Copies of this chain bind each other. A is one copy, B any other.
């Protein structure tokens, strides 16, 4: 135990961080990043120990002014090791490849949400499940508990449906079309989306070009009650918050162990009060799922998990070998979605087809279309302009904004990338397009991105524009053009790929 004098600071390092002079802990059993229990006359708390050379003097403990009410500068405080989190034992079981019992999984989820686990402990859990996997029974328990630990939405009308993409394909803005089609048919579809994590635009980023997306649970409810639908950012609704904490460990490792993928998606459905959901599983080079066989295996797991937690799941294995539609980047995608609602005939077929197919499944699941006739019903709603009207309602209810594609502003700097030769487009790289859009500034620069003029199979002549880059910054545009010239995300070849002659 260390006896120190409180030194109140205007700092917040998260996890109730406290700061001690490094000379005070040399040779003791205390180390930076230990979880410590700090006791004062005004109360105690558990925090994380950081060290400083100078910020606080020897014998002092730097404490954020907010942590304990009424604590005074110079007051004596005691610091000792916090009790280890209960889940450490269970994490070690998983490290040793054992199957965890329900209450063991509940303890881990609870302590994740209560922020009782350090990065070291949390990483050990994630890496262990990555290596050893989890049985479906464990995934069910994890999903249920995660779904119970944050905000929970309840709805008066049923069924409540949802559509969710596991991601990996750029330009995937279908939700802006699918959601209003379904809502327009009278079905409740309270859609939450994420912002970009590694992509150039998450659905929430795209929608934010047109209207507010950071609604809390109450505001979201109001919008859905008024319009049947919404398109908001999941982050501010606080559904299944364990997921957000787990992602912070997965992101730097670029791993997404399947048990966490399954439970993170489905826990949010539990919390959002969803009855039916369609899971979009894009398959193809550069997506998360390499081939159809893997896609089917994952689909079966989603369906089984859904059955065991009481949510009806249907999966759509979709083509993800190149971007959906032609626009990649928040404003470009928002504009493309609005244009597709305004004039479906002129919109890219890949976008229309995907949006209609997913809507069709939901219309059939929701009981407003007979099996097999979902696409026709969806088409009617889209082509009649009803989907556009519904979308405008949603935008306005959320606090918007822009309801006309002509009002969407794109980056004021742009440059066209021409084809280096005559031939056919043989591939459009998901990864390459994403990287270039990000180099141009997306998703933070909402007006930055890539607009494809061609897709796979198009015939082009030398000098034809392959795609146009947009950015709000001249410098970033230049940097994106440079990257584009280096990685060639759109590949053009003549029909004769290589001549082999007799000599």
Contacts and interface: CB of A to CB of B under 8 A. Distances in A.
Interface of A: 9-14, 19, 22, 27-29, 31-35, 50-55, 66, 88, 92, 95, 97, 118-121, 123-124, 127-128, 130-132, 195-198, 205, 208, 214, 233, 248-249, 251-255, 443-444
Contacts of A28: 444
B95 A130 contact: yes
A225 B205 CA distance: 68
Given A11-B19, A92-B253, A92-B255, A131 B53 contact: no
Contacts of A131: 95, 97, 127-128, 131-132
Rank and list the top 5 A-B pairs by shortest CB-CB distance, nearest first. Answer: A123-B123, A11-B55, A12-B53, A127-B127, A12-B52
A33 B255 contact: no
B33 A248 contact: yes
Contacts of A33: 119, 248
A253 B29 contact: no
Contacts of A197: 29
A54 B12 contact: yes
This protein's copies in its complex: 2
Nearest to A198: B29
A214 B120 CA distance: 29
A132 B127 CA distance: 12
B118 A252 contact: yes
24 contacts: A9-B55, A10-B54, A11-B19, A11-B52, A11-B54, A11-B55, A12-B53, A12-B54, A13-B51, A29-B196, A29-B197, A29-B444, A34-B252, A53-B66, A88-B253, A95-B127, A95-B255, A97-B131, A119-B119, A120-B249, A123-B123, A123-B127, A131-B131, A131-B132
Contacts of A251: 31
A43 B51 CA distance: 25
A120 B123 contact: yes
Given A29-B444, A33-B248, A120-B252, 12 more contacts: A10-B55, A11-B52, A12-B54, A27-B195, A29-B443, A31-B251, A92-B253, A95-B130, A121-B253, A124-B127, A127-B131, A128-B131
Contact of A50 (B14, B31, B252, B253): B14
A252 B88 CA distance: 9
A91 to B, nearest CB: 8
A448 to B, nearest CB: 12
